[in-house]
């Protein structure tokens, strides 16, 4: 796209040159004349967890602001009486809200799903004078990397950056004439919608591929690879028909050993340290299929005391609490260690079944998922025990066929993974492209006042 004719150097870091007729302005000079035009959310002591309700006035928190949008997701509420007492922190549709916590200076225009909201202590209410600034342009400018980098450089905090109201008030944004702001906002709105639509379609495709992989595994560990194989009734309602030469066996007949992780009281946090040698594995390793994840380690002395819970290559691990039924086989690259209280380890009789095959059946088959859902009801949360796991019925092909099914799934999964990674990369490129467009438009690197659709094309 074309550039402006004349430029000058900006005083704002990371901006460089700007159109000659543009200016710079502090946020505090863009507000209305109201006394509550630029205010913090209430102190934490004024809005505690005990003040949250199931309905009422929604509270805008950090997690409600994403990609320049105000999203009512996982919303907390407070009573109307409490919101009235915190009147200065009330915010309404069309107002701007800015975050103070990392990521610092994330901004959005408040949506109109509710008539009013209350901002949390980690947010700032910003009422702008619309005769001076187009709100849409301003939100794009605040979310631009030049503004955020400046905000982060003036923030404090060792683990999580935090800014404050007085600093935010004095941060500068670039300030073109109002009519030009409107043109830039219109341009970015149109392009953002176009790019976000493409991203949405790609995310739907990702979900489709993930579901296809799931169904592929489930189908093959239940029906086998031969679509013309003679079938028989498995005798188990939730399994259904299986190939005639397969067997149905309960897991207990496939085990050399089964072990539940130690009681939580016997494995305390203060006994763990990253400097120790032996790793403590938990359900996060199974959910992510990543055995390098985690920072919990125990000493050699503690490991010797808990040797019965040690993991070995080929052990099949199952998550027992919370996210139940996730299963992985310990790889050859594992670090010596033990399971925690939320895991169970199984040693499979390898003359009867391949551990990886059984792991796939437990983790991916629809019939095991249904069985666990019905049988894992706990008083507080769903949970498994060794009795439930032992009673799982498995549709079991001969060993050689298990190998063939695993090889087929491996090859198909690799094909799907290649497609998934390609789509992830495309989404990342589109997101970076959108950020680049925003930066170039709000800093005047491109002149969008009279752009044509042919000047800018987004490749699918």
178: how many CB neighbours lie within 10 A of its CB? 14
Q: Looking at residue 377, what is its pLDDT?
A: 64
Q: Which pLDDT does position 452 carry in this prediction? A: 63
Mean pLDDT of 232-258: 93
Average pLDDT over residues 239-246: 93
Task: Say if residue 195's pLDDT is above 70.
Answer: yes
Residue scoring higher pLDDT (369 or 446): 446
Mean pLDDT of the chain: 91
Q: Give the confidence band of 459 by pLDDT, cuts at 50, 70, 90.
A: very low
Provide the pLDDT for residue 382: 55
pLDDT one-digit tens code per residue, 284-318: 999 999 999 999 999 999 999 999 999 999 999 99
**Cβ contact 7:19 at 8 Å:** yes
**Per-residue pLDDT band at 372 (split at 50, 70, 90):** confident
Residue 43 has a pLDDT of: 87
d(CA 118, CA 113): 13
Neighbours of 358 (CB within 10 A): 25
Per-residue pLDDT tens over the stretch 210-234: 999 988 988 999 899 999 999 999 9
* Residue 185 binned pLDDT confidence (cut-offs 50, 70, 90): very high
pLDDT for the residue 458: 46
pLDDT band at 381 (very low <50, low <70, confident <90, very high): very low
Residue 460 above 50 pLDDT? no
**pLDDT tens, position by position, 97-132:** 999 987 788 999 999 999 999 999 999 999 999 999
Query: Using one digit for the tens of pLDDT, what is the confidence trace for 255-292?
Result: 999 999 998 788 888 899 999 999 999 999 999 999 99
Nearest to 433 by CA among 99, 106, 188, 128: 188
Give me the mean pLDDT over the 161-167 stretch.
Answer: 89
> Which pLDDT belongs to residue 102?
75
Task: Using a pLDDT cut of 90, give the percent of the chain over it.
Answer: 75
| Closest listed residue to residue 325, CA positions, set 374, 292, 291, 265 | 374
pLDDT tier, 44 (very low <50, low <70, confident <90, very high otherwise): confident
């Amino acid at each position: 796209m074309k550039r402006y004719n004349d430029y000058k150097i900006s005083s704002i870091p990371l901006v460089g040159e700007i159109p000659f007729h543009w200016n710079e302005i502090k946020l505090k000079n863009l507000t209305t004349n109201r006394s509550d035009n630029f205010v913090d959310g209430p102190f934490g002591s004024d809005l505690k967890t005990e003040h949250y309700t199931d309905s009422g006035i929604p509270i805008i928190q950090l997690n409600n602001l994403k990609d320049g949008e105000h999203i009512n997701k996982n919303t907390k509420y407070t009573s109307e009486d409490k919101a009235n007492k915190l009147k200065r922190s009330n915010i309404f549709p069309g107002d701007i809200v800015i975050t103070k916590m990392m990521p610092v200076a994330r901004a959005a225009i408040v949506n109109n799903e509710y008539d009013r909201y209350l901002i949390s202590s980690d947010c700032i209410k910003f009422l702008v004078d619309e005769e001076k600034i187009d709100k849409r342009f301003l939100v794009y400018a605040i979310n631009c990397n030049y503004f955020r980098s400046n905000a982060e450089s003036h923030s404090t905090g060792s683990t999580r950056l935090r800014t404050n109201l007085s600093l935010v008030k004095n941060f500068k944004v670039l300030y073109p004439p109002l009519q030009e702001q409107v043109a830039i906002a219109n341009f970015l709105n149109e392009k953002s919608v176009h790019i976000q639509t493409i991203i949405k379609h790609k995310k739907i495709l990702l979900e489709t591929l993930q579901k296809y992989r799931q169904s592929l595994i489930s189908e093959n560990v239940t029906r086998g690879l031969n679509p013309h194989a003679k079938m028989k009734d498995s005798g188990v309602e939730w399994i259904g028909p299986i190939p005639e030469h397969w067997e149905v066996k309960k897991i207990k007949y496939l085990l050399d050993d089964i072990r539940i992780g130690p009681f939580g009281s016997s494995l305390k946090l203060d006994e763990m340290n990253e400097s120790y040698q032996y790793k403590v594995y938990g359900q996060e390793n199974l959910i992510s299929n990543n055995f390098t994840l985690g920072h919990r380690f125990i000493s050699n002395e503690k490991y010797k005391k808990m040797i019965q819970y040690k993991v070995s290559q080929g052990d099949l691990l199952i998550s027992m609490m919370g996210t139940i039924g996730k299963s992985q086989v310990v790889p050859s690259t594992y670090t010596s260690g033990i399971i925690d209280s939320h895991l169970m380890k199984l040693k499979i009789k390898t003359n009867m079944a391949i551990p990886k095959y059984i792991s796939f059946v437990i983790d991916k088959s629809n019939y095991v998922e249904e069985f666990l859902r019905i049988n894992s009801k706990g008083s507080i949360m769903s949970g498994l025990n060794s009795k439930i796991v032992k009673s799982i019925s498995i549709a079991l092909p001969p060993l050689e066929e298990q190998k063939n099914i695993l090889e087929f799934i491996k090859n198909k999964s690799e094909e799907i993974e290649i497609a998934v990674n390609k789509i992830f990369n495309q989404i990342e490129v589109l997101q970076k492209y959108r950020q680049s467009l925003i930066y170039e438009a709000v800093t005047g690197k491109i002149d969008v006042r009279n752009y044509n659709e042919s000047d800018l094309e987004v490749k699918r």
